[in-house]
């Protein structure tokens, strides 16, 4: 309770001080008025429709990078129109060297950042913290995201909106038309609407990003400025918009065959034929609230996890990849990402199938609301019975004043063993530009014999585009077990501090250098009893080049106290003791938008009582729009002065993306690791037969390679099939 009182007091003092001494006011910003289109433009990338001749363009773009605040090197024009059902954008991106325009990605949701591309961001509630983000490259390939509390990560790009975009590359540059249905957006009631608006263009070969309105690097850097919702311009003139019935129905049918070996010591291979039906329904209850219903949910089309080998004594984190959980996932975030999360959706359906679920998300006045209830079990007939497990999450966030929020979360898992309930609160305040205060606290009541536990965190970060300092304190109880959360390390009191200096440089003797990155950090971890467990002091120095190439060197000094033996492998155990060692690493990378690109790293030094040497390397090749190949190697050599203490840990992967068009593409991921001696392959074909509707063909297979030291070794069959799965899944989106 002392922790939560301290966090609450600190939060209260900071928020009240900022409120009294002057709230951070969003600038008035640039304003643009959309023009009503009596006749909708044809979305073909050719700007010859009458409406575009009647619409004044936005031309006042400025550079964010590499020369902040300066005029763009290439001229850009954007026109905005609408009718009752759609919001239209027309982009004219002039380029004096159109043959150098980078345009190769055809995979929806793929790496548009490697191409010339554009963004549209819409803050439909004008709350200055949340927005929709639409991304299109020079081929018209789409991606989209939802920005939550001015935060944008790779996980944000999980929203699957239905909109239209077409482009034309010509001798003057490239043009693009975009049509966004109003039914895909949520916005307040009213006949006249005002949205926040941000527009951005990236000229990839020049590593140049331009933006409207002008937003400085201090708001998160060249990528983070996209999420600076409080600094967006204003889009006005939207009147008489038709919201539609806001009903989306998406049934699916799936069929396939699965072969698995139940016992590696025998030749017994079991076969199972699968066929099933399910449905997802999205219904706009009001202009502000959306309900999602999923029955007999299936994720056969989800890409495979990347293989990770664990050389630590703590749990590994595998990111969520299932669409149902990723959409609006930022709303449900609570805790420290990837280390101490109150809610981690991969806990749901981890060992059982998802029988059905319902989710409610939206906004009511200053409140952002998220509710989720999911049933898991072995059979659909077990739904809402004693044989199923119920998973519930409730989340609310309130806007206190500009850029300040406070919220609460409740998670509950109920099974035949009892229930596990986590209740948490949090507060966040962004001030100045990218500076931030953040605090949260969670208490868990556990079922079974586990005692109640709690965890909390408070942090302060002062950051602009050149300087940054941060400090945080995290406490995690030894009995902190949120059943629907993720906790990497329990029984800790963690103190962390860092400082960074990232100047943009212009040195005649180093014309290829754009920015230096200098950072130091210190971590001190003690148990709840106050006894030190780990410490780490690190310093890194890096260089960003003008072409997005870069390299970095890091020196880290670590102390680890093992209170009990650490089984780094089943046949290798590190004794309990105190260990202090130093590691040095050097890494570099090239611009991944090139035809050939790659990265490499080497590190080495002490590792508990012995040594560790690490080598990493990645090479990529993307010759055309239709092919992209990447190979990845991760190798560690461990040498410990103990029995079986010298061994290697190796993972090798090959990924291939082939695209026939923007509607038909395939990915293949092949992986091998020497800990399991398993070779795995995941092949996925996606045909987008209509917008929002797909036909997936998925093939997964895994083999075990035995060697003479393997207890499964048999000279007559050194390669054994572990599993083979072939699945076809058809979805069809119905809009009402």
Mind listing the pLDDT tens digit for each residue in 136-152? 999 999 999 989 888 88
Report, as an integer, the average pLDDT of 165-188.
94
559, β-bridge pairs: 535, 580
Asked if pLDDT for residue 467 goes beyond 80, the answer is: yes
Rounded Cα distance, 506 and 516, in Å: 11
For residues 566 and 378, the model is more confident at 566
- Both tokens of 63, joined, read 């550079």
- Both tokens of 273, joined, read 């034929």
CB 52 within 8 A of CB 79: yes
Q: What is residue 22's predicted lDDT score, i.e. its pLDDT?
A: 33
Tokens 């070996």 -> residue:
261
| Helices and strands: H and E segment counts in the chain | 4, 43
Phi and psi, residue 491, nearest 5°: 50, 60
Asked if pLDDT for residue 492 goes beyond 80, the answer is: yes
Give just the sign of the alpha carbon dihedral 144, 106, 111, 694.
positive
Asked if pLDDT for residue 263 goes beyond 50, the answer is: yes
Q: To the nearest whole number, what is the mean pLDDT of the chain? A: 88
- Both tokens of 444, joined, read 């868990």
Asked if pLDDT for residue 322 goes beyond 80, the answer is: no
Q: What is residue 603's predicted lDDT score, i.e. its pLDDT?
A: 97
Q: How confident is the model at residue 692 (pLDDT cuts 50, 70, 90)?
A: confident
CB 187 within 8 A of CB 193: yes
For residues 401 and 537, the model is more confident at 537
Report, as an integer, the average pLDDT of 224-243.
92
Asked if pLDDT for residue 702 goes beyond 50, the answer is: yes
Rounded Cα distance, 228 and 386, in Å: 47
Q: What is residue 435's predicted lDDT score, i.e. its pLDDT?
A: 93
Minimum mean pLDDT range among 70-79, 204-213, 292-301: 292-301
Q: What is residue 488's predicted lDDT score, i.e. its pLDDT?
A: 94
Minimum mean pLDDT range among 230-234, 275-279, 498-502: 275-279
Asked if pLDDT for residue 350 goes beyond 80, the answer is: no
Report, as an integer, the average pLDDT of 664-677.
93
CB 294 within 8 A of CB 280: yes
The strand pair at 164-170 and 76-82 is best described as unpaired
- Both tokens of 577, joined, read 């003791």
CA 379 to chain centre: 31
Q: What is residue 451's predicted lDDT score, i.e. its pLDDT?
A: 80
Asked if pLDDT for residue 512 goes beyond 90, the answer is: no
Rounded Cα distance, 181 and 87, in Å: 6
| DSSP conformational letter for 305 | P
Asked if pLDDT for residue 616 goes beyond 60, the answer is: yes
Asked if pLDDT for residue 9 goes beyond 60, the answer is: no
Among candidate residues 327, 165, 181, the one with its CA nearest the CA of residue 244: 181
Q: How confident is the model at residue 191 (pLDDT cuts 50, 70, 90)?
A: confident
Among candidate residues 86, 92, 88, 138, the one with its CA nearest the CA of residue 112: 138
Q: Which helix (H) or strand (E) holds 221?
A: helix 221-224
Asked if pLDDT for residue 381 goes beyond 70, the answer is: no
Asked if pLDDT for residue 524 goes beyond 90, the answer is: yes
Contacts of 683 (CB under 8 A, 6+ apart): 666, 667, 668, 669, 698, 699, 700
CB 138 within 8 A of CB 202: no
- Both tokens of 549, joined, read 């190439």
- Both tokens of 176, joined, read 């693009």
CB 222 within 8 A of CB 202: no
Q: What is residue 19's predicted lDDT score, i.e. its pLDDT?
A: 37
CA 10 to chain centre: 30
Q: What is residue 704's predicted lDDT score, i.e. its pLDDT?
A: 85
Q: Where is mean pLDDT largest: 184-188, 349-353, 452-456? A: 452-456
Q: How confident is the model at residue 192 (pLDDT cuts 50, 70, 90)?
A: very high
Q: What is residue 156's predicted lDDT score, i.e. its pLDDT?
A: 78
Asked if pLDDT for residue 732 goes beyond 60, the answer is: yes
Minimum mean pLDDT range among 167-181, 190-204, 278-292: 278-292
Asked if pLDDT for residue 386 goes beyond 70, the answer is: no
Minimum mean pLDDT range among 4-8, 65-69, 566-570: 4-8
Rounded Cα distance, 532 and 528, in Å: 9
Q: What is residue 262's predicted lDDT score, i.e. its pLDDT?
A: 66
For residues 26 and 537, the model is more confident at 537
Q: What is the CA radius of gyration of the chain?
A: 27
Phi and psi, residue 17, nearest 5°: -60, -45
Asked if pLDDT for residue 681 goes beyond 70, the answer is: yes
Q: What is residue 4's predicted lDDT score, i.e. its pLDDT?
A: 42
Contacts of 423 (CB under 8 A, 6+ apart): 408, 409, 410, 442, 443, 444
Asked if pLDDT for residue 712 goes beyond 60, the answer is: no
Q: How confident is the model at residue 710 (pLDDT cuts 50, 70, 90)?
A: low
| pTM of the shown model | 0.86
Among candidate residues 379, 388, 383, 387, the one with its CA nearest the CA of residue 276: 379
- Both tokens of 547, joined, read 């072409």
For residues 598 and 66, the model is more confident at 598
Rounded Cα distance, 531 and 658, in Å: 54
Asked if pLDDT for residue 16 goes beyond 60, the answer is: no
């Amino acid at each position: 309770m002392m922790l939560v009182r301290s966090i609450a007091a600190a939060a209260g003092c900071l928020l009240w001080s900022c409120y009294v001494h002057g709230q951070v006011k969003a600038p008035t910003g640039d304003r643009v008025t959309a023009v009503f289109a009596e006749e909708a433009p044809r979305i073909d990338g050719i700007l010859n429709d009458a409406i575009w001749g009647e619409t004044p363009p936005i031309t006042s773009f400025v550079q964010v990078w590499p020369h902040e605040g300066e005029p763009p090197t290439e001229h850009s024009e954007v026109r905005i129109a609408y009718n009752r059902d759609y919001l239209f954008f027309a982009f004219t991106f002039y380029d004096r060297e159109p043959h150098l325009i980078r345009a190769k990605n055809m995979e929806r949701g793929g790496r548009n950042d490697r191409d010339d591309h554009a963004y549209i961001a819409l803050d439909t509630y004008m709350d200055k913290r949340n927005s929709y983000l639409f991304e299109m490259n020079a081929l018209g390939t789409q991606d989209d995201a939802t920005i939550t509390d001015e935060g944008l990560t790779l996980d944000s790009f999980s929203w699957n909106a239905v909109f239209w975009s077409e482009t034309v590359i010509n001798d003057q540059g490239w043009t693009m038309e975009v049509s966004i249905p109003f039914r895909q957006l949520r916005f307040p009631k009213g006949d006249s609407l005002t949205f926040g608006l941000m527009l951005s263009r990236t000229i990839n070969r020049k590593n140049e990003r331009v933006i409207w309105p002008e937003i400085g690097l201090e708001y998160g850097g060249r990528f983070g400025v996209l999420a600076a919702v409080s600094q967006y311009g204003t889009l006005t003139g939207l009147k008489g918009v038709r919201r539609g019935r806001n009903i989306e129905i998406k049934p699916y049918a799936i069929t396939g065959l699965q072969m698995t070996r139940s016992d590696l010591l025998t030749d017994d291979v079991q076969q199972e034929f699968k066929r099933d039906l399910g449905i997802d329904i999205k219904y706009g209850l009001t202009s502000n609230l959306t309900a999602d219903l999923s029955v007999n949910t299936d994720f056969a089309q989800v890409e495979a996890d990347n293989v990770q080998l664990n050389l630590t004594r703590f749990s590994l984190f595998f990111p969520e990849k299932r669409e149902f959980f990723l959409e609006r996932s930022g709303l449900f975030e609570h805790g420290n990402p990837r280390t101490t999360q109150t809610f981690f959706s991969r806990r749901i359906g981890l060992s059982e199938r998802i029988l059905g679920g319902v989710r409610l998300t939206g906004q009511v006045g200053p409140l952002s609301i998220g509710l989720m209830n999911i049933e898991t079990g072995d059979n659909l007939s077990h739904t809402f019975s004693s044989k199923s497990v119920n998973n519930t999450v409730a989340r609310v966030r309130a806007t206190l004043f500009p850029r300040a929020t406070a919220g609460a979360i409740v998670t509950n898992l109920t099974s035949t063993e009892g229930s596990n309930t986590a209740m948490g609160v949090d507060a966040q305040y962004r001030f100045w530009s990218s500076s931030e205060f953040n605090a949260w606290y969670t208490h868990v009541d556990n079922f079974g014999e586990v005692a109640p536990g709690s965890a909390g965190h408070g942090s302060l970060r002062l950051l602009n585009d050149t300087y940054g300092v941060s400090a945080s304190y995290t406490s995690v109880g030894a009995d902190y077990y949120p059943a629907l959360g993720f906790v990497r390390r329990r029984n800790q009191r963690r103190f962390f501090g860092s400082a960074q200096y990232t100047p943009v440089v212009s040195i005649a003797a180093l014309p290829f250098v754009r920015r230096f990155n200098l950072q130091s950090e210190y971590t001190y971890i003690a148990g709840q009893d106050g006894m030190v467990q780990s410490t780490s002091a690190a310093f890194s120095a890096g260089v960003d080049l003008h072409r997005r190439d870069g390299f970095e060197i890091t020196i880290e000094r670590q102390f680890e106290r093992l209170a009990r033996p650490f089984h780094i492998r089943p046949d290798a155990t590190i004794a309990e003791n105190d260990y202090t060692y130093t590691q040095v690493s050097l890494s570099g990378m090239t611009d991944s938008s090139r035809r050939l690109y790659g990265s490499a790293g080497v590190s080495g030094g002490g590792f508990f009582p012995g040594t560790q040497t690490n080598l990493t390397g990645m090479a990529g090749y993307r010759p055309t729009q239709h092919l992209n190949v990447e190979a990845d190697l991760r190798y560690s050599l461990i040498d410990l002065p103990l029995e079986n203490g010298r061994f290697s840990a190796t993972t090798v992967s090959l990924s291939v993306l082939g695209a026939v068009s923007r509607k038909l593409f395939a990915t293949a991921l092949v992986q091998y690791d020497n800990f399991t001696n398993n070779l795995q392959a995941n092949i996925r074909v996606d045909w987008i037969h209509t917008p929002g509707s797909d036909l997936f063909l998925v093939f997964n297979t895994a083999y075990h390679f035995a060697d003479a030291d393997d207890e499964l070794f048999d000279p007559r069959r050194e390669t054994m099939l572990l599993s083979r799965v072939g699945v076809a899944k058809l979805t069809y989106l119905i809009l009402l």
